[in-house]
Amino acid sequence: MSTPVPSLQIAETGYEVLHNPHLNKGTAFSEAERRAHRIEGLLPPRVCSLELQIARTHEELSNLDNDLQRYLFLSDLQSRNETLFYAVLMSDPATFMPLVYTPTVGEACQKFDHIFRASRGMYLPISARGRLREILSNWPQKDVRFIVVTDGERILGLGDQGVGGAGIPIGKLALYTACAGVPPQYCLPITLDVGTNNQELLDDPLYLGLERHRVRGAEYDAFIDEFVEAVQALYPKCCIQWEDFANINAVPILERYRDKICTYNDDIQGTAAVALAGIFGALRISGQKLADQRFLFLGGGSAATGIAELISEAMALQGMDIKASRARNALFDINGLMVTSRTDLADFQKPFALDHAPISSFVEAIKVLRPTGIIGVSTVPKLFNQKVIEAMSAINERPIIFPYSNPTSRSECTADEAYRWSHGKAIFASGSPFPPVEIAGQTFVPGQGNNVYIFPAMGMAVFATESTRVTEEMFIVAAKAVAEQVTEDNLAKGLIYPPQSRIFEASLHVAGRVAAYIFDKGLARVPKPADIDAHIRNAVYHPVYPA
Ligand code: NAD
């Protein structure tokens, strides 16, 4: 696969070249290029290498006072010189991830209307119903392969940010490129504006979205349908990734399209896959089998049911009946253990209800169900208290303890607590990062179940194969491929995810494994290459200047 690169020949004047982010090289234009493209005199005379420009950017960033300023600086750079922007990000993706995405992007979304500078991606308001295809065709790139789209209703943990949610698809797509090399020219961030129920935004004279409450029901569904049809008509090879929709819409949208088009929801499926990757990593430490595990979830919302379902499907792939697999993934929410006699369960929770007497204490549930792992997705801090960790340690040689609630302040326990209360026996990973912990002279490095181990790789696999679908099994393949890359040295320190400093290599490995699955299942729209890893590497975007 060869990825077309923009050419300097298409611009007419030097001024145009300098103001086209796809063509601009800034001070890196050679003397010959400056003469040939009438750039002479428009730049200071010294010609710089890309490496020197990266070093200058690093220095400029270090001189700024806070991360929002760094976010804005990088955003301006993306508008000025796309190659340099990605060269900077790809020089150290782990360092730049928190600047272009979480946590900084959260503040950028909240302040969107007050810091708006330049257009990026597209905005489709519900007031334009009936004209979405016409509006989408205003996008200059005619071959779009990847869309990340939000309606801004559940932005990170910040709730309804209306049109300000635009920062999320923009930031997320930057990570598809920075962490797995998905070529940016094929990527399109989109914000669907269906109104906002955030009164503060509606009262703000600077608010940039539609001044109306959120549209719900049939009108909303028809708008989403029209959007999907317009994308299919204009960009038939495009994968749509739904991002930060509220549960009430996220689950039905995924159900409606997952078997019809190439699409996935990272909040649901990426989260489940990264948790499963952590479990596969944990099993490498304990030496146990997935089929022998029993998990007890604290929380029964979308994260819990999504993770529980993917674990159940992975167990079923090993030969277990799906009902028996689900019975090994018990949910415990604010009203206690989910059992069949409860009348308050939603449809998506019912498959996990146990035929068991009610239990209202989490410690009691541990003693009765004897789980090998507990997974916290309750949003409530400190619920994995000393009694909980001690109960898990009493029945397991190496208890799996995953407090996944974000941010750090909501984590069900800290790494220090888990390791201390279990006397170093816990196999630990969390949703938010924790620093290394020392117990009795041994250093433990806690892993972070960050979706970034999954989604860029999934994007690259889909891009390189032109897959027609994104299936649940692809996420199981991805989870295994993440866990494969944890070294013995990592495992010895308790680390069950690859270090984030290796995210690019890790993503290409995962992409290769998922691509092999796509080819084997006949989902690819390109012929199967002899060497799939080489095929993936050929498709990778490299931040080099156009000739
Ligand atoms: P949700 O609101 O849908 O679900 C929360 C669940 O917790 C509900 O079932 C609720 O009944 C239960 N709960 C609340 N208080 C409780 C209590 N005192 N005891 C027991 N259960 C209680 O939320 P969600 O979307 O499922 O997300 C949950 C958490 O998971 C969030 O903090 C989110 O940040 C985190 N998460 C982490 C990752 C990741 O690290 N990769 C990904 C997704 C979600």
- How many alpha carbons fall within 13 Å on the CB side of residue 396? 31
Q: Report the residue among 406, 432, 482 best suited for mutation to probe ligand 1: largest number of ligand atoms under 8 A from its CB.
A: 406
- Digit-by-digit pLDDT tens for the chain (547 residues) are 545 556 666 656 889 999 999 999 999 999 999 999 999 999 999 999 999 999 999 999 999 999 999 999 999 999 999 999 999 999 999 999 999 998 899 999 999 999 999 899 999 999 999 999 999 999 999 999 999 999 999 998 789 999 999 999 999 999 999 999 999 999 999 999 999 999 999 999 999 999 999 999 999 999 999 999 999 999 999 999 999 999 889 989 999 999 999 999 999 999 999 999 999 999 999 999 999 999 999 999 888 999 999 999 999 999 999 999 999 999 999 999 999 999 999 988 999 999 999 999 999 999 999 999 999 999 999 999 999 999 999 999 999 999 999 888 889 999 999 999 999 999 999 998 899 999 989 999 999 999 999 999 999 999 999 999 999 999 999 999 999 999 999 999 999 999 999 999 999 999 999 999 999 999 999 999 999 999 999 999 999 998 8
How much distance in Å is there from the Cα of 218 to the middle of ligand 1?
Answer: 28
Which ligand 1 atom is at minimum distance from the Cα of 157?
34
What residues have CB less than 8 Å from 519, skipping those under 6 apart?
465, 528, 532
431 lines ligand 1 (CB under 6 A): yes
Q: How far is the CA of 433 from the centre of ligand 1 (A)?
A: 17
State the distance from the centre of ligand 1 to the C-alpha of 296, rounded, in angstroms: 13
Domains of the chain: 82-261 (3.40.50.10380), 269-449 (3.40.50.720), 453-528 (no CATH)
299 lines ligand 1 (CB under 6 A): yes
Q: Which residue's structure tokens are 């969390």?
A: 430
SS3 342: coil
User: What ranges make up the beta strands (E) of 450-505?
Assistant: none
Residue 30 alpha carbon to ligand 1 centre in Å = 54
Ligand 1: atom nearest CA of 274 is 41
> What separation in angstroms does the CA of 156 have from each of 6, 44, 245, 487?
34, 43, 10, 31
CA pair distance 311, 513, nearest whole angstrom: 19
List of E strands, 116-170: 122-125, 146-150
Note the pTM of the prediction, 2 decimals: 0.94
Q: Are 60 and 73 in contact (CB under 8 A)?
A: yes
Tokens found for residue 468 = 């027609």
| Atom 18 (ligand 1) nearest CA | 334
Active-site positions? 101, 172
Which of 266, 379, 384, 402 for mutating ligand 1's site (highest number of atoms within 8 Å of CB)? 379
Out of 378, 411, 412, mutate this one to test ligand 1's pocket (max ligand atoms within 8 Å of CB): namely 378
Contact residues for 181 (Cβ-Cβ < 8 A; gap 6+): 460, 504, 507, 508, 539, 540, 541, 542
For residue 334, the CA-to-ligand 1 centroid distance in Å is 10
Distance (angstroms) between ligand 1 centre and the Cα of 213 equals 26
Q: Is 405 in the pocket of ligand 1 (CB under 6 A)?
A: yes
Report whether residue 378 contacts ligand 1, using a CB cutoff of 6 Å: yes
